[in-house]
Structure 1
């Protein structure tokens, strides 16, 4: 048997070498991969702009109050007079017909100017102090209700009162001095009413049964 010749051996080596080159080309080393490839950047943290602290409570509203002042006027039927004095959210009022009927009333004034005053024997006065220039309302003293309007008073107009003991009698007098200077008042002696004598509106001086008294502005 003959051994393969040198030419055959060389050919076989050449084929083997080409095979190795081809294999090396297809399976060669891969390019190094960046450690940052295919990694999406992490989003920056979002800082909340909403404070976690509880909101401060709103300051309490200061309650409104009706303006202080004095008011005087007449009933719509012109049979009596009404005066009201307002101080620090409280009010007193006086109703009188200048003869024998009178009543003192008192109560509070709401922040919106509403008045609800009461007196003896079921006397009542309701009204509204609107813009501070007048009071409009209704007063009831021992009979049917009477509507009235009382305008802002300027001294010496307004509400006056005098109390004293004269000749062992208890004297209680009330006067309403109107803007035109006219006066309406009732004087009681031991609870018996009668028309009141005139006062001097500049000083409040008045003479009762020969004794000199001083009436003073009436306030709550």
Structure 2
């Protein structure tokens, strides 16, 4: 009996193994001998490249609108006929124009960050002014007449005071400007009739000869 058959089978198996080894070398897989299981070699996954992120942008700081500093101003008109006081608080202002006899006006309005203001009152009254250092300069229009003025920055007890009260059935409304140096200019309106106001005690607010109390004015 010829034994060439098994020999050919062995040679064929060796040839197949060599072919598989060659394929493994190219594909990176490991192959078991004939009749075994082929286990793929896991290919190394490429390491992820670090992502390039843009540098964090810092949010621009929010700018709060500027506001004129709180202050009180008091002074006289350039023609020395009247007095003016202005109180600035939290970006708002209230002003009082008074000649100490029978002409007066209350005005109010906003104040810009640079200290400029355009205040308005009854009867078309208007006050336009701006802060320049420790002074407030501008013009007031009252009863269709224009008054230029300069008011210095005031320190207590100087400033603006007001009293509104009903006393023994009479409606009283008084306004006072206490100028630097202590001089007072004011008008007391009694049931609609204006008259020069009596002096006040700025510390206590008491009004001379009247059952009335004056208080500092704020917007």
Contact preservation (8 Å) 2:115, 2:130: yes
Q: TM-score, normalised by structure 2?
A: 0.73
Please tell me the root mean square deviation across aligned C-alpha atoms, in Å. 1.8
Q: Deviations over 1:135-193 (max 9, x none)?
A: 10100110221111110111111101111112211100000011121110001112211
1:111 aligns with 113
Q: Secondary structure at the match of 2:143?
A: coil
Classify the secondary structure of the residue corresponding to 1:213.
Answer: coil
Structure 2 distance, partners of 1:202, 1:54, is 58
TM-score (norm: length of structure 1): 0.72
Q: State the aligned residue count.
A: 169
> Which deviations, in whole Å up to 9, do the C-alpha atoms of 1:83-108 show, x marking residues without a partner?
00000000100000000000110101
Gaps of 5+ in 2: 1-51
**CA displacement, residues 31-61 of structure 1 (integer Å, 9 cap, x when unaligned):** xxxxxxxxxxxxxxxxxx9x64684442221
How is 1:182-197 mapped onto 2 (pairs within 5 angstroms)?
A: 182-197=183-198
Greater Cα radius of gyration, structure 1 or 2:
1
User: Which sits farther off after the overlay, 52-61 or 169-178?
Assistant: 52-61
1:201 CA drift (Å): 2.3
Query: For residues 184 and 125 of structure 2, what CA distance do their matches in structure 1 show?
Result: 22
1:3-45 deviations in Å (ceiling 9; x for gaps):
xxxxxxxxxxxxxxxxxxxxxxxxxxxxxxxxxxxxxxxxxxx
1:109-150: per-residue Cα shift (whole Å, max 9, x none)? 00111111100011000100133x111010011022111111
